[in-house]
Amino acid sequence: MAGKVFFSVSMSLDGFIAPASPEELMGRQWMELQQWVFPQRFFRENLKLGEGGEEGRDNDIVRETFERTGASVMGKRMFDAGEHAWPEDPPFHTPVFVVTHEKRDPWVRQGGTTFHFVNDGIESALDQAREAADGRDIRIAGGGATILEYLNAGLIDEFTIALSPVLFGSGVRLFEGIDASRVALGLVGAEPSPRTTHLRYTVRSR
């Protein structure tokens, strides 16, 4: 049985998931947006940042998202931003399929992460990810434009948003350009925590 296709992002209260410039990805706003995840024990262990960290529902959600993912898909912008920032053992530990026009051999990293570069569109990348995931779920890792492409193509089954108590004012909006005439949502649940609010939705055709 094929796994679900999902995305999971942190979002500011005014709807942004990233700063406008990749050069600002580790800037103050980004750090505030992601501040709920940095202290979590599973996150720290996965990135080999040392022992310790918080446990609780936030930590459980980080771990559950990782454990359900059998393969990831991302766009070239996200890959370019992370290529020099990720450690030699990146946090994915699964095959990652990069939607790009660049022709490039697979990039093998430590810990089970191999980046595959797909030149023939989002559906081909998803098909390859499904095969690699071996029945587990496929995560559309980002960035915002890639997530939007999959949403508008009707290829997303569900998604989660960690709604962070921060305002960006500008940047990459999650739903900028959504075809609202084709996409309908169902609220599955909302879980507040001391640091964020976790929202979960199903997606269906309108």
Longest dimension (CA), the chain: 47
* Stretch 119-143: mean pLDDT: 96
Would you place residue 46 in the very low, low, confident or very high pLDDT band (cuts 50, 70, 90)?
confident
> Buried b vs exposed e over 53-72: b needs ≥16 C-beta within 10 Å?
ebeeebbebbbeebebbbbb
* Stretch 144-161: mean pLDDT: 97
User: Residue for token digits 């810990």?
Assistant: 111
Question: Is a pLDDT exceeding 90 seen at residue 49?
Answer: no
- pLDDT: which is higher, 26 or 82: 82
> Structure pTM?
0.93
Q: Which pLDDT does position 26 carry in this prediction?
A: 66
| 157 CB-contact burial (10 Å; exposed 0-12 / middle 13-18 / buried 19+) | middle
